[in-house]
Amino acid sequence: MANILVTGGAGYIGSHTAHQLIARGHNVQVADNLSRGHRHNVAPERLHVVDLADTPRLTALMREQQTDAVIHFAAYIAVGESTKVPELYFTNNVGGSLSLLNAMTEAGVRRLVFSSTAAVYGMPARVPITEDMPFEPLSPYGESKVMVEKILGWMDQFRGLRSIALRYFNACGAEPDSGLGEEHEPETHLIPLLFRAIRTGQPVTIFGDDYDTPDGTCIRDYIHVSDLADAHILAVDHLLKGGASDAFNAGTGSGFTVMEVLRAVEEVTGRKVPYSLGPRRDGDPATLVADSTKLQRTLKWTPRRSHIKAIVQDAWAFEQKRVAR
């Protein structure tokens, strides 16, 4: 049993991870300013409504809780938004992380699991992507994650802060039995938008069907949020056992086209998805698929629920609950 602080634990991946940590008997506290997360995702006695920029409060919280490790999710995640207001992304994602790192240093906490992203690779020269491929982000969002990964490298060297960066591919799915799932505002992710099209009858736009892929739509590596949560737990266990700093791709190694996901949604829901074909979205690579061999070998991670049908089933079950709220 360890004392774990989860920043951004009221958000999508953070809430699933916090839930699994609690199920494994850890003492979990959540720090979230609720700017994008949801109060209903966290039990009130665990929730500390605090901004990442508030270094003294974070320090006090970690001292009081005798925190052993931090899992740091709190960040903005919208690629498109980051190109419109880049300063917001650097302030929140980089500035916020620095504030947290200062608080950790003050409080003597030396273990951190960090939410990174496949966006650090930009348009990769080849797929599947391995961790040694260069950082070539195409958005302030991706750059903000690169910057924090680099800072973590220096903190390892000169502060003895051990960290694991998990570079997520396309997180999706839900744990409907726990009432947890994806609910971003505004929503930009494919699966929730396909459900919205079913619900409202307003067509979803497919961003481009002229890519060099079997059906012309983009290929992505969809990873179930429960499997992602598992990866965080293995990462934090590794650090708590004295493991070294590292970075891992968190994806399944299999890719699906946008149209394949749309068909899976139609199959699971038994409903037609109204859609229209639109132009490509800026910055979308044709194919993003992870080579996650390193994560599987080093941390003994195995994706269990990342089949497209299981993902859509769980996401759809959550969608019914969310709409009924």
**β 256-257/219-220 pair status:** antiparallel
Q: Out of 46, 196, 263, 281, point to the residue binding ligand UFG (CB under 6 A).
A: 281
| Number of neighbours of residue 196 by Cβ within 10 angstroms | 15
Sole window of 29-37, 46-54, 189-197, 307-315 interacting with ligand UFG (rule: CB under 6 A): 189-197
Q: Which is nearer to ligand UFG, 77 or 164 (CB)?
A: 77
- Nearest distance in Å: CB 79, ligand UFG: 5
H or E segment and range at residue 206: strand 204-207
Give the residue carrying structure tokens 């950082």: 135
Q: Is 271 in the site for ligand UFG (CB under 6 A)?
A: no
Q: Out of 81, 136, 237, 284, point to the residue binding ligand UFG (CB under 6 A).
A: 284
Number of residues lying near ligand UFG (CB under 6 A): 20
Residues contacting 79, CB < 8 A, separation 6+: 119, 139, 141, 142, 188, 283
Q: Is 115 in the site for ligand UFG (CB under 6 A)?
A: no
Instruction: Output phi, psi for 245, to 5 deg.
Output: -65, 150
Q: Where are the beta strands (DSSP E) in 25-153?
A: 27-32, 47-49, 69-72, 111-117
- Nearest distance in Å: CB 20, ligand UFG: 21
Residues contacting 18, CB < 8 A, separation 6+: 6, 9, 28, 30, 42, 46
Q: Is 205 in the site for ligand UFG (CB under 6 A)?
A: yes
Asked about 89 being catalytic, the answer comes back as: no
Helix, strand, or coil here: 184?
coil
Q: Which is nearer to ligand UFG, 69 or 119 (CB)?
A: 119
Q: Is 204 in the site for ligand UFG (CB under 6 A)?
A: yes
Residue numbers at the binding site for ligand UFG (CB under 6 A): 77, 79, 117-119, 170, 188-190, 193, 204-207, 218, 220, 258, 281, 284, 288
